[in-house]
Amino acid sequence: MATVPPLPAADEQAQFADLARLVGPPVRRYLVRRAPGDAVDDLLAEVFLVLWRRRRDLPEDDPLPWTYAVARGCLANAARARVRRLRLLERLGAQPVPGQVDPEAGAEVRHALLALGELDREVVMLWAWEGLPPREIAVVTGLTANAVSIRLHRAKAKLAAVLGKEPGVAGQQQGEGRRP
C-alpha cells in the first residue's frame, strides 16, 4: 500500500507564501513580456510548481534571479511543446484520415439526417455508424432497448421518405450492426 507523504510544515508553507508574494509580481511581468497572454497564468503556475519542488535549492539571499532562471526554463519548455504540437498537426494534416470521404459524398444522407430530431439522429448514427444493437444504444442514450427499437424503426422510415426510397432499403440490412 502506498504511503501518503507528510504535509509540509506550516512554517514551510508560510515561507513559500512569502516567497510567492516577493517574486510573483516581477516574474509575472517577465512572463507577460515574453509569452502569449493566454499562457501567462499557466506559465506562472509552472514556475511556482518548480519553486515548490526545489524550495530547498533556493538561494536565501536573493531568490529573484534564480526564479527568473526557472521562468526562462518554463518559457523554453512551453516553446518546445508548442513547436512539437505544430509539427504533429502538420503531420496529421498531411495524412489521410481513415474512412475520410469526399465532402460531397453522402451530402444527401447528411441532409436527410438533419430532418430527424437530435435524439433520433443519435440513435440512427449509433446503430448505422457505430454498429451498436438497440440494447447497447439504450445504455448510451439512457432509453430502454424497446424505446430505442421504436425510435430506430420510425427514424429509418422517415429517412427513407426523405431520401425517396422504400422503407426496407434505408440503412443496414437485417441483422447488420449486431455483435456476435
Helix (H) or strand (E) segment spanning residue 91: helix 63-94
CB 163 within 8 A of CB 112: yes
- Determine the pLDDT at residue 162: 86
Q: In this structure, is residue 102 part of a structural domain?
A: no
Residues 121 and 151 grouped into a single domain: yes
Assess if residue 171 is contained within a domain. no
Look at 14 and 173; give whichever has higher pLDDT: 14
170 domain residue, yes or no: no
Burial bucket for residue 133 (CB in 10 Å: 0-12, 13-18, 19+): middle
Q: 98 versus 139: which is more confidently predicted?
A: 139
Residue-level pLDDT at 107: 79
Q: Point out the domain boundary residue: 50, 65, 94.
A: 94
Examine residue 129 and state whether it is found in any structural domain, yes or no. yes
| 54 within some domain | yes
For the segment 35-49, the average pLDDT, to the nearest whole number, is: 95
Judged against a pLDDT cut of 70, whether residue 100 lies above it is answered with: no
* Domain limits for position 24: 10-94
Global pTM exceeds 0.75: no
